[in-house]
């Protein structure tokens, strides 16, 4: 099942909000039909309506990215409605602030299930579909600068994002013979609902005000501001495009100078 007669098809996970929602809209503007995968199908439908209102076909799909069967059901729905995806951006992710000595094992397990296993399952399933149909493609996994170094109050998140970079590198080598490129983006501090929640949580843990925590965060960024979801989405869309068809296996920081690795 292919989409050769229609527009290229993109899958975006975590598409109900934040970087995922911005990426779905950016890929639609670039000419893709977009499948918006998210655990919250109703919220994804709201974003899909915005995409459709701009004249592009959009499909909201409820999916648990950490569950093999759910991912494959979502892919089947996508292929039946839109065609085989040749562009994939895995933006689904979670983070909860816990000091290392207080990090519950269930938080560790859940974070890795969504951020790492979810990324792997989506990349593997979509790449298999492309390979089966003989279609070249490009995939971008949203990692984080947290995967570049330690996070004393988010060890599970940092571990999951470091592992995403490793999976991307392995996938890039494995999928190159199928003409499928795989890269990672490592955002720094992005103005999203998750960042706002974690700022409030850090304020509670450290007995400081959210404004004080936010000011401390900004002070670490040479460019002096948070990035917007659209800035991340625009770079993901560029990496998907043909102008970057010799780039694979890379992990690119988008962090205002916060990290240099």
Catalytic annotation, residues: 157
Strand partners, 36: 12, 60
Strand partners, 253: 186
Q: 47 near 21, Cβ under 8 Å?
A: yes
Pairing of strands 9-13, 251-254: unpaired
CA atoms within 13 A on the CB side of 136: 10
Q: 231 near 253, Cβ under 8 Å?
A: no
Mark residue 83 as left, alpha or beta (left: phi above 0; alpha: psi -120 to 50; beta: remaining).
left
DSSP string, 54-74: TT--EEEEE--TT-HHHHHHH
Q: 6 near 66, Cβ under 8 Å?
A: no
DSSP H helices, 143-228, are 155-175, 193-206, 210-219
Q: 172 near 182, Cβ under 8 Å?
A: yes
Structure tokens at 169: 């590198």
Three-state SS for 32? coil
């Amino acid at each position: 099942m292919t989409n050769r007669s229609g527009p290229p098809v993109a899958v975006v996970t975590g598409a109900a909000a934040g970087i995922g929602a911005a990426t779905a809209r950016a890929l639609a503007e670039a000419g893709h039909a977009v499948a918006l995968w998210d655990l919250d199908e109703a919220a994804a439908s709201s974003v899909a309506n915005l995409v459709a209102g701009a004249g592009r076909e959009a499909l909201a799909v409820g999916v648990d990215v950490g569950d093999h069967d759910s991912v494959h059901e979502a892919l089947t729905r996508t292929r039946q409605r839109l065609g085989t995806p040749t562009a994939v951006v895995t933006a689904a992710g979670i983070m909860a602030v816990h000091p290392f000595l207080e990090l519950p094992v269930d938080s560790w397990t859940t974070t890795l299930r969504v951020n790492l296993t979810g990324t792997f399952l989506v990349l593997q399933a979509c790449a298999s579909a492309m390979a089966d149909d003989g279609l070249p493609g490009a995939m971008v996994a949203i990692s984080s600068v947290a995967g570049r170094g330690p996070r004393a109050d988010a060890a599970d998140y940092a571990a999951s994002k470091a592992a995403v970079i490793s999976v991307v590198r392995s996938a890039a080598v494995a999928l190159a013979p199928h003409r499928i490129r795989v890269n990672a983006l490592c955002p720094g501090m992005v103005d999203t609902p998750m960042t706002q929640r974690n700022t409030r949580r850090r304020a509670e843990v450290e007995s400081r005000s959210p404004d004080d925590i936010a000011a401390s965060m900004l002070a670490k960024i040479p460019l002096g501001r948070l990035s917007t979801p659209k800035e991340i989405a625009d770079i993901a869309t560029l990496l998907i495009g043909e102008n970057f068809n010799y780039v694979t296996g890379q992990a690119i920081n988008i962090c205002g100078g916060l990290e240099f690795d």
